[in-house]
Amino acid sequence: MPYQTPGDDLVALLDAPLTPLSSLSPDRSHLLLLGYEAYPPIADLARPYEKLAGVRFDVTRPGTQRLTRYSNLTLLSTSDGSERPVMGLPAEAIPGGPVWSDDGKYFAFFVENPGGELSLALGEVATATAQILPEISLSDMLAAPIQWIDNQTLFLTLVADLGAAPTRPTAPDGPIVQEASGKQTRAATYQDLLTSPYDEALFTYLATVQLATFDILSQTLTHVGPPVLATSARPSPSGEFVLVTRLVPPFSYRVPYQLFARRTEVWERATGQLVHTIAELPISDEVPQQGVPTGPRGAQWQPNLPATIHWVEALDGGNPLAKVEHRDKVMTLSLTPFAKPHPEGTRVARNERGEVESFRLTHRFAGWDWPDDPHAAIVTEYDRDRRWRTTYYFTWGSWEARKTLFDLSVNDAYGNPGSFITTQKPTGERVMDTREGRVFLAGRGATPEGDRPFLDAFDLSTGEKERVFQCGDTHFETFLAFIGDELLTSRQSRTEPTNFYISSPSSRFPSSPGPSSQSWEEGRGGELEEPPLLDSPSPNPASQDWEEGAGGRRALTHYTDPHPGVTGLHKELVRYERADGVPLSGMLYLPPGIAPDSQPNLPLLLWAYPEEYSDAATAGQVRGSDKTFTRLMGTSPLWFLLRGWAVLMDAAMPIVGDPETMNDTFAEQLVGAATAAINTLTKRGIADPKRVMVGGHSYGAFMTANLLAYAPGLFRAGIARSGAYNRTLTPFGFQSERRSYWEAPEIYHKLSPFTHADKIKDPLLLIHGQADNNPGTHTIQSERFYQALQAHGATARLTLLPHESHGYRARESVLHVLWEMLDWAERFSAGTERD
């Protein structure tokens, strides 16, 4: 059938102008705003690409498959809110995300040319102009294409000159053979893997790059070493060395490239010569379930020293079930004879390679935080058995005297202290922002009344906190960065879209010598967006109430409501309780103009995603806020509001119990949570219990199908998008399930809706991307489940979206998914299928 649309009114709202994405300059003087296209045409997704080693390569560009188009670069001054469009780029050039020089004078980025190749571009803040630098072809295959070494020098990943690409054979040379070694392995169900010698040759050709430096003043390009199949390359803070991880044959047909045989090396930047080999690792296709590879992992530069590297090595064979005193050890290598992390006089044992074992962790290493002190560090470890994380502050060489900063369940939203705010050093590395001897923590601030974002000043030596900023009760406001002694925040409400503000706290802090902000530009696949909010603790009742305007506030941006006709909808945090006593919550939305006390008796869509918890207390904590602005975008279930439905979003579906066995009662806990939600909204007169639909995406789709199997008649129909329904196809665990199929076959069968297809009588709409690359949710999951439902006489519909992966991106696909869901709801909301 051709693509459908859900109606002109919804199409117009989907096409409403989008708020630009943003990136803050390190000197905090400007925000770079980027317009973007949220829904590319299906033709973009249909471009030919190769699925190789877990990556999708667009061989016509060449490069990785890119689905977000940026445009309209604008510089916004944080001092007065003035805007200047960035000029100088050809109209047909498509920019990528910016990477700022430390002094905030320049921002480098790639541009995609009409032919698809990537060129280097340089923007200048003073003139608000950008220019494409000729004859520099960048590669965004595996390693970061652009990094700064200093304010004048860029470190680049270029397309390597390897001649013609391999030619696909017209006939195979022979069969594809794999052979088991006799060792027990628990490989996950990865997708887009290598399948032939031709795949290996093409992957090598596409992913091999040339490292180089570029002087922006002299316009001099210098190659660093020979072409290399690099997965990462990071200059040292001093700029003297490069930490390179590269792949080496043989490759694997079982795992993605991250687990191929690989070497982690240190090169001299000026010559490209090998200085030190940190690791030579074999193919990691025998990693225990929920374990880690053996050998060095996670090597990185210490950001406040010229050239010191730390990495972690497993002491338990990478096996979380092994009974050992320590799971990981931290290793250190200093490449300069001075400014080492261990203070002079500290006794350390160096091996024959000059490497130091700095300390050992009882549990699994979970990450670093770096104070602006080369002799100190913060490390977090994770206890898998308890789902617990502990964070320590210590001095190098004095691990035994470490201080415990935080010690709590990973699920404890109320107790979460937040994340450290960082500042950028002149080398481009990031360390904690320190003012008056204190660092800062920002978090989402979960409370029983909803999230209240905060900023705390924190003394590392004493553990004392002072609340600097706290969101009040009428808006949702989040700290983003220090601007001098003022704060940059994002602020929104139920009726006001997100805008940026400069605010003055009552407690002032002197400006730090360097810029301060959360790192906005890394992660998320290179896509820029408004900085993510962080988990955090409950608010301090004595904290400053910013909703009253204390300290003053001025707006930097003035974005308006893109769909004022929708803004009048009711949004409410509802709380209720499961029959077993576990407290639950969800965000209730009602159509515009409908009051909750009018007992509207509306059809209800319950949309959810199950989460696992070790105890009822953390499972029952409230997460989310009813003070945020509701923007209708993408395939959100909230579009149902414009067709007269009530929507309970993020309805809590906690699975509580021992992490080893909690799925034994997965189905029962789901049914209990869903029943409690329906009963609560029915008693209030909001929902008609005969017209309730359930839906979810991915694990939420798995949930939906199980609810229809184990609670027949509770729902009028279901919508399941991109789910997994036959757990024998993910035999080495799923989500947080720790047992394999052979250890708990009864659980895999019990929780596979495919095996209960004969019991599912409520109508079920299945939607899946034909190119889903998410581990575990192969498209065949929906195809075989639909065939089983059809064979047993169920009412079901299967929609496969061409060229779409786990999430749906193309404008045609998004509109069609909305049409499918709303049409399905119309057919069954009245209790009988429409003629």
**Residue closest to 783 by CA, chosen among 828, 699, 733, 723:** 723
CA dist., res. 427 & res. 120, Å (int): 21
Residue numbers annotated as active site: 698, 772, 806
How far from 229 is each of 207, 250, 273, 502, 545, CA to CA, in Å? 6, 13, 16, 45, 53
Angle at 616 between CA 612 and CA 618, to 5 degrees: 70
Instruction: Supply 285's token pair.
Output: 């296709």
CA dist., res. 191 & res. 809, Å (int): 19
CA dist., res. 727 & res. 424, Å (int): 46
17 CB burial (10 A radius; 0-12, 13-18, 19+): exposed
471 CB burial (10 A radius; 0-12, 13-18, 19+): buried
Instruction: Supply 160's token pair.
Output: 């390597």
CA dist., res. 328 & res. 366, Å (int): 10
Half-sphere exposure of 551 (CA within 13 A, CB side): 18
CA dist., res. 283 & res. 702, Å (int): 32
Alpha helices (H) in 492-556, listed in sequence order: none
CA dist., res. 753 & res. 825, Å (int): 22
Task: Give 79-107 as a 3 state SS string.
Answer: CCCCEEECECCCCCCEECCCEECCCCCEE
8 Å CB contact between 178 and 187: no
Secondary structure (DSSP) of 641-677: GGGT-EEEET---EEES-TTTGGGGHHHHHHHHHHHH
CA dist., res. 145 & res. 150, Å (int): 16
Amino acid at 529: E
Pairing assessment for the beta strands 654-656 and 611-613 based on DSSP bridges: parallel
CA dist., res. 188 & res. 296, Å (int): 22
**Residue closest to 680 by CA, chosen among 793, 756, 583:** 583
Helix 699-710 crosses helix 666-683 at what angle (to 10 degrees)? 80
Secondary structure (DSSP) of 281-316: E-----PPTT---SS-EEEEE-TTSSSEEEEEEESS
8 Å CB contact between 589 and 630: yes
CA dist., res. 289 & res. 310, Å (int): 25
Element (H, E) at 441: strand 439-443
Q: What residues does 299 pair with on adjacent strands?
A: none
Alpha helices (H) in 318-367, listed in sequence order: none
Instruction: Supply 363's token pair.
Output: 């549990």
8 Å CB contact between 507 and 515: no
Q: What is the DSSP letter of 639?
A: G
CA dist., res. 746 & res. 742, Å (int): 9
Percentage helix, strand, coil for the chain under 3-state DSSP, each rounded to 5: 15, 35, 50
CA dist., res. 589 & res. 604, Å (int): 10
